[in-house]
């Protein structure tokens, strides 16, 4: 098998991993919406990271028992990513309490342009015209969905909740860049251990002091966020250590489609023609970013 064929197979595996991770994260963000708790946003984020840490500990213990080191040379990056992770989850939770979840996810996944800029500047990756075309097309599709699914007469893009969702996009972009850099230099169990552990520690004191912990019987959907997030993070770490950010970023927009599907199945949120059209546009952008038209558009290479 040629080197090119091997790389194509690796890229395909990375793409599938990102798609499955996108579904898991869509499910994770749907859990607070479907729960009957009145937890504060920092409690929800704390439970998400602490639950993930507990779910991860057996794997980490087996990893360490085999003689592998748990030390990391990227402590500051892990702290930065933990803060960005807290910010992204918190912003989605806060915004989705004010506008529909589909709007929040759509707006937040406008992070692709930010990722491309950071990937070119910080990581030194080559950004081809087809990647820029992919981002433009997917952002247009996301904008169409969000602008026509807003509640009320005011477009959600200009609401406070929309600005919070945009802040989530910035946090997500930072996370993606850090994931790409660290995943090529550090093992997955170590990376997940530090990120979830640091985030849990950062939120421990606020959650204990200011948190309201009544209604524990309704927590179970929130408790599932941690394990689901760990699986999604592991898939993303696997994918981003195998393929370039500019190749995988368009696929993260599939979370919009998964969120729409979950909204319909779980919350009886019907799919409008605006959302359907936006989904088609987003899928088209993803296919272009994946290089489906590489042979027919050789000048873009």
pTM over 0.75: yes
- Dihedral, CA of residue 242, residue 185, residue 229 and residue 290, to nearest 10: -20
**Predicted local confidence at residue 113, as pLDDT:** 66
**Predicted local confidence at residue 158, as pLDDT:** 55
**Predicted local confidence at residue 136, as pLDDT:** 83
DSSP 214: -
**Predicted local confidence at residue 275, as pLDDT:** 66
The residues near 82 (Cβ < 8 Å, ≥ 6 apart) are: 194, 195, 198, 199, 202
DSSP H or E stretch at residue 81: helix 75-96
Kindly report the backbone phi and psi dihedral angles of residue 293, in degrees, each rounded to the nearest multiple of 5, phi listed first.
-100, 25
**Predicted local confidence at residue 215, as pLDDT:** 65
DSSP 123: I
**Predicted local confidence at residue 216, as pLDDT:** 64
Give whole-number Cα distances, 272 to 22, 27, 142, 203, 261, in Å. Answer: 22, 20, 14, 38, 12
**Predicted local confidence at residue 156, as pLDDT:** 46
C-alpha to C-alpha distance for 83 and 195, rounded to whole angstroms: 9
**Predicted local confidence at residue 157, as pLDDT:** 52
**Predicted local confidence at residue 68, as pLDDT:** 87
**Predicted local confidence at residue 220, as pLDDT:** 76
Taking 70 as the pLDDT cut, the residues of the chain under it are 1-5, 36-37, 110, 112-113, 116-117, 120, 123, 125, 142, 145-159, 215-218, 245-246, 269-272, 275, 283, 286-287, 289-301
**Predicted local confidence at residue 298, as pLDDT:** 32
């Amino acid at each position: 098998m040629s080197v090119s064929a091997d790389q194509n197979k690796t890229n395909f595996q990375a793409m599938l991993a990102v798609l499955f991770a996108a579904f898991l994260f869509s499910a994770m963000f749907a859990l607070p919406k479907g729960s009957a708790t009145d937890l504060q946003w920092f409690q929800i984020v704390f439970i998400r990271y602490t639950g993930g840490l507990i779910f991860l500990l057996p794997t980490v213990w087996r990893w360490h028992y085999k003689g592998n080191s748990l030390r990391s040379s990227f402590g500051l990056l892990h702290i930065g990513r933990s803060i960005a992770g807290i910010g992204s989850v918190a912003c989605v939770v806060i915004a989705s309490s004010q506008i529909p979840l589909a709007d929040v996810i759509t707006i937040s996944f406008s992070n692709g342009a930010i990722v491309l800029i950071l990937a070119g500047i910080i990581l030194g990756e080559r950004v081809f015209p087809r990647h820029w075309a992919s981002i433009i097309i997917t952002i247009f599709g996301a904008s169409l969905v969000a602008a026509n699914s807003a509640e009320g007469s005011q477009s959600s893009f200009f609401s406070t909740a929309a600005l919070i969702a945009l802040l989530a996009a910035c946090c997500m972009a930072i996370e993606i860049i850090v994931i790409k850099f660290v995943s090529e230099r550090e093992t997955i169990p170590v990376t997940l251990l530090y990120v979830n552990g640091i985030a849990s520690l950062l939120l421990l004191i606020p959650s204990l002091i200011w948190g309201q912990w009544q209604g524990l019987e309704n927590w179970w959907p929130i408790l599932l966020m941690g394990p689901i997030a760990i699986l999604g993070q592991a898939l993303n770490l696997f994918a981003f250590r195998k393929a370039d950010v500019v190749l995988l970023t368009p696929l993260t927009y599939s979370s919009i489609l998964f969120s729409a599907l979950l909204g319909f199945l779980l919350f009886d949120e019907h799919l409008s023609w605006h959302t359907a059209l936006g989904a088609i546009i987003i899928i088209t952008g993803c296919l272009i970013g994946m290089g489906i038209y590489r042979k027919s558009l050789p000048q873009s290479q």
